[in-house]
Structure 1
């Protein structure tokens, strides 16, 4: 499929390690994500060499700005030798089923950080930027958490602050609460952290009353959260919060695990709803950075992130029926967490999820608005 080129190229952050490093076969992130998106976008004529922004692993000097030196050193060592001691596992929470150690892990994790730094720098040049391998929002300064070893969204935010942005909004649309980012910037008057996430879902933080020193707003939503409810919260809560804070820039973690069909979430969003939410924030804030995040269904992740890149880069929409080569590519994907009979037909032949008409906004969702706007 051919398409016209936007006049100003957007930036797609990439690195060889995002495709080369492999998670263990029994891990939810063992599916290919970054490479799938690149392949499909190239098939659609949506990704060109001048749009690629290549990042290398961040140096120790960069990493230790937000992470403890001992933790950084320990992760590099265990990544090289491929095993951990009991003391290291207990101290740093890696070498577990959740946060395994494998060859190339350190370079991959460090590249997510440099990718977010680069993404922030390019956004300040007026470019639309997507870093699909980013969004490791659970990482803590001194330990791994939730498949995240470093906290790359925090580095994007810090880069924007260091570059002269007076205030930055962090918007987390992942199904899981962005606890690591909120913790790092707790009580920081220059950063407002807003997170929409599924209630009663790991990491079991981000309660409605949690404000992290005053500069966080959390919207824990019930299972089955739908497009009408997302649109309602964006219009009635998120955009007003952003307008009131009046930021110079926004960093968004655009997790695909909030989509219907993801095995690690009970949310039921369609990708059109998420794309629209992201677009509304980009229109409201002059500088924006889009990161990846969670997402454990290869079909929904690939379609959502590919479509997001197409919108960021200004390409015409994909046809309602995808080209044969793209359909063939999607049909070859697989996932141990999803049975073959659970694969929806539209995951293989179209980008956009079917429109869901007649969705109701439940009272539990409506009640979030006055609570987060108060104070």
Structure 2
């Protein structure tokens, strides 16, 4: 791997899920993002490929009956509709692999020491609860990663969620865990209608300005790092906060997302805290436009690492 680049995690199965025509989920974005990074000059050896986790390992955060029903395709149809995907074995395999990918990214970041940085080209399925899925989320990869690492003695861990939708599943799963800190900065008048209580929540108005958004992110992360001194930050860099996102309801520019991501990564690097980032939500139907927004996370990571590839990505 190249030392001036972050470790990257990707599996081709992320975009191989067959969905009905006009389905709302932009499943092709993962492949497009990978291809763009390769075209920018990121070498193939910079990418690590995860192997699907065993379903039983999900019991660290999920109900065993829920896991079994979902994997066997016997989950109640109403519960499946709440998830938003038609059931298929391909869906289960992809979900188990993506969950493994977030854990692998965290392991790679920790292995690099205090300046560790890894990005998963998937992840951020924060609407999955203990025994129910929701909002395109079957298994909560953020929670699985944090809980698994906690069992290995890592902690405290901060889950810093900047997806436009509140990380309700993550908040509920760790509501009584003092060593895994949940933080969500999201659009208040957006899905989910019923919010959970994170350790730190900021619900933003739809007309929130770019400056106010960046101030909220900066003040929140600075305070959380100072108070909790985490050994790892798991960062959900959702881009559905973008003004062109179909499901976002915020009005942020691409440049603001670039500044946000560089702010988060820089603050953690300055304090010697490894970061495992996931790309999170993003729902523009134009995959090229959506990919350009997701690339801001990589621009920030390349810049923080001092790689010249950062200058190749436009904001």
CA contact (8 A) 2:82 2:135 kept: no
Q: Which deviations, in whole Å up to 9, do the C-alpha atoms of 1:294-331 show, x marking residues without a partner? A: 111124430122232243244325667xxxxxxxxxxx
TM-score by length of 1: 0.75
1:151 maps to 2:134: no
CA contact (8 A) 2:11 2:50 kept: yes
CA contact (8 A) 2:172 2:197 kept: no
CA contact (8 A) 1:198 1:266 kept: yes
Tell which deviates more after alignment, 223-232 or 250-259: 223-232
Q: Which deviations, in whole Å up to 9, do the C-alpha atoms of 1:57-86 show, x marking residues without a partner? A: 1102312221122211222222xxxxx6xx
CA distance 1:11–1:237, change in 2 (3 Å): closer
Aligned residue in 2 for 1:141: 130
Q: Structure 1: which 5+ residue stretches go unaligned?
A: 79-83, 321-349, 353-375
Aligned residue in 1 for 2:3: 7
Instruction: Write the mapping of 1:331-342 to structure 2, written as runs, cut at 5 A.
Output: none
Aligned residue in 2 for 1:260: 243
Instruction: Write the mapping of 1:359-374 to structure 2, written as runs, cut at 5 A.
Output: none
How many Å apart are 1:148 and its aligned residue? Answer: 0.3
Distance 2:219 2:310 in 1: 30
Distance 1:120 1:271 in 2: 26
TM-score by length of 2: 0.88
Distance 2:253 2:175 in 1: 31
CA contact (8 A) 1:119 1:289 kept: yes
Distance 1:9 1:50 in 2: 11
Q: Which deviations, in whole Å up to 9, do the C-alpha atoms of 1:156-195 show, x marking residues without a partner? A: 2123323433311111111100001111110211122111
CA contact (8 A) 1:261 1:300 kept: no
1:162 corresponds to which of 151, 166, 180: 151
CA distance 1:268–1:62, change in 2 (3 Å): same
Distance 1:177 1:248 in 2: 23
Q: Higher Cα Rg: structure 1 or 2?
A: 1
SS at match of 1:104: helix
Structure 1 ranges of 4+ moved more than 6 A: none
Q: Which deviations, in whole Å up to 9, do the C-alpha atoms of 1:322-355 show, x marking residues without a partner? A: xxxxxxxxxxxxxxxxxxxxxxxxxxxx731xxx
Aligned residue in 1 for 2:77: 89
CA contact (8 A) 2:237 2:297 kept: no
Q: Which deviations, in whole Å up to 9, do the C-alpha atoms of 1:201-243 show, x marking residues without a partner? A: 110244xxx645xxx1110001132321122112333322331
How many Å apart are 1:103 and its aligned residue? Answer: 4.5
How many Å apart are 1:25 and its aligned residue? Answer: 2.2
Aligned residue in 2 for 1:64: 59
Instruction: Write the mapping of 1:137-286 to structure 2, written as runs, cut at 5 A.
Output: 137-206=126-195, 211-212=197-198, 216-285=199-268, 286=273
Alignment: residue pair count: 303
For the aligned residues, what is the CA RMSD? 2.2
Aligned residue in 1 for 2:314: 351
How many Å apart are 1:278 and its aligned residue? Answer: 2.8
1:116 maps to 2:102: yes
CA contact (8 A) 1:119 1:156 kept: no
SS at match of 2:61: coil
SS at match of 1:186: coil
